[in-house]
Every structure is written in structure tokens, then in C-alpha cells.
Amino acid sequence: MDLALAGKVVLVTGGSKGLGLAAARAFAREGSRVVIASRSRENLAAAQAALAAEGLEVATVAADFADAAEATRAVAEAERPFGPVEVLINSAGAAKRTPAEDLDAAAWKAGLEAKFFPYIHAQDAVLRSFRRRAGAGAGADGRAETRLPPPRQIGAIVNIVGTGGRIPSGTHLPGGSANAALLLSTLGLAREYAPYGIRINAINPGFTLTDRIEQNLALEARRLGISRDEALAAGAAATPLRRYGEAHEIAEVALFLASERASYVVGALVAVDGGQSLAL
């Protein structure tokens, strides 16, 4: 299936590692013009070199998306090499896992700052850019003047959120609460921006093998008094597909949701979790 993503300008926050890096690789393979963003220049350089070794070229922007001004600056910088961003893959999050009995006010606040605000700041900055391109459709107050959608897609956003936003995990309550807020804001913004030709959707990955998952395994092992490998096996056994996900499996769904093949998909919260969160 041709997703018609060649030449599209794609910004991937959190693109230096894990799910973001897998998304960057997938879009670059489709011929998109990809900019990856994260805080550490070293991580960005390592990711850029790894992709270059596969014959894939990406540009980089270093920024901490927890800071709204930095997010605005990063989007402006990302637009310099290739022009306006057309797709945002939001994957820059790092909420720390904390057992429920260790939670305090600082841990709750840190969860929102590490997960909720980086996504919201990136999304706000990209939405301002999308709105400028939507042009005639947008009124002075920034709202759509007409309910007639433009004939083509102005932009698409895919927020990589997490099943922890729908199903509580005892070691991930601040991050999970941030996820729940992101799912709600995805739905609300999707409805408000669809009239501009802007589609916003989310993916809820289940346990997916990235650097982050090691932190999760260590905590689960401690909580249950088992080894890391036993925790890994228990997680796989609790998944209907009997295995963890791989980062490229999340990226494949992000490609589709961002593409105009998904032209009527708005505000979908797509579980990509091997069946971990099956529910009506």
C-alpha cells in the first residue's frame, strides 16, 4: 500500500530513542523528510548515525519539550531545513515509575511534567504552524470560520500515549494520569481541529521493548520479589499474543494514522498492545 508519505515533513519528538526512533526510521524509509528532536545532542547524534548506517537521512533538533518556549523554538528550527511540519509524531516522554507507597506531591507533579507537558507543548507549537497553513479556514480568534473541511489534509498528529492512561498500573500512577489527560486532550483537540483539515489521533502501546521497559521490569521484579527475566516472562504471559511488542510495530500504525490513507480517522485511540487492554 502506498501511503503517499514521500516528501512529507515529519517531526518526531523523542526521536532519538525507542518508539520515536523507530517512527523516524519508518517515515524515512517511506521517503519522508524527517526531523528528530530530543534533549540530548549525544542521543540525537547516535540516532542520526545509526539511521545513516542504514542509508536513511534525518535532521536533528535538540530541545527540552517540558519547556513551552523551547518547544516553540524547536518547531521553528525543525521547519528551517524542509519547510512547514506536516506530521507530528509525539513520543518525547520520560515519566518515572514509582511504587504507589512512595508517591508524594513531588512525584505526582514530576509525572505530569515529564509526560503531559512535553506532548502538549510540542502539539501546541505544531498546531500554530498548521493553523497558519490552514490560512483562509482560520478566523482571527484562531477557530475555524467554516465547518467545511479543506479538500486536503493540512496536517496530522499522532500522540504515542500508553495503555496506562486507561488501565491503572500500581507503579505508574503519575505517568498513567498524564496519559489519561493526554487521551482526553487528544479527543478534544481532534474535534476542534478536524474542520481545519488537521487530524489528531493517539496510539496506546502496550509493553514494547525499548530502553524504558528495563526500568519497568526492574520495578516489577522488586515489587514481586522475582528476577528481571521472570518479570519479563510474566509480562509476556499476561499478553494474549504471549510476547512484548517491538518498536517497529508501533511505528507501522503511526505511519498509517499520519497518512491520508487514514483520511477519515479522527480522535481514534488505537491500542497496539498484543491484546493487553481488550475491553469494550
Q: Give the E-state strand segments of the chain in sequence order.
A: 9-13, 33-38, 58-62, 87-90, 155-160, 198-205, 208-209, 245-246, 269-272
Maximum CA extent, the chain: 60
Q: Least distance to ligand NAP from the beta carbon of 22, Å?
A: 8
Least Cβ distance, residue 140 to ligand NAP (angstroms) = 32
* Smallest separation, CB 230 to ligand NAP (Å): 18
- Nearest distance, CB of residue 182 and ligand NAP, angstroms: 9
CB 245 within 8 A of CB 208: yes
- Report the alpha-carbon distance of residue 94 to residue 38 in Å, rounded: 11
* 228 membership: H or E segment, kind and range: helix 228-237
Query: CB-wise, 193 or 244, nearer to ligand NAP?
Result: 244
Which single residue brings its beta carbon nearest to ligand NAP?
18
Which residues in this chain contact ligand NAP in the complex, by CB under 6 A? Answer: 13-14, 16-20, 38-40, 43, 64-66, 91-94, 115, 118, 160, 162, 205, 207-208, 210-213
138 contacts: CB under 8 Å, gap ≥ 6: 131, 144, 145, 196
Rounded to the nearest whole angstrom, what is the least distance from the CB of residue 212 to ligand NAP in the complex? 4
Phi then psi dihedrals of residue 254, to 5 deg: -60, -40
Cell numbers that stand for 88 in this block: 507530528
Closer residue to ligand NAP (CB): 134 or 217: 217
Indicate the residue among 72 and 208 with the shorter CB distance to ligand NAP: 208
CB of 42 or CB of 260, closer to ligand NAP: 42
Which lies closer to ligand NAP via its Cβ, residue 115 or residue 199? 115
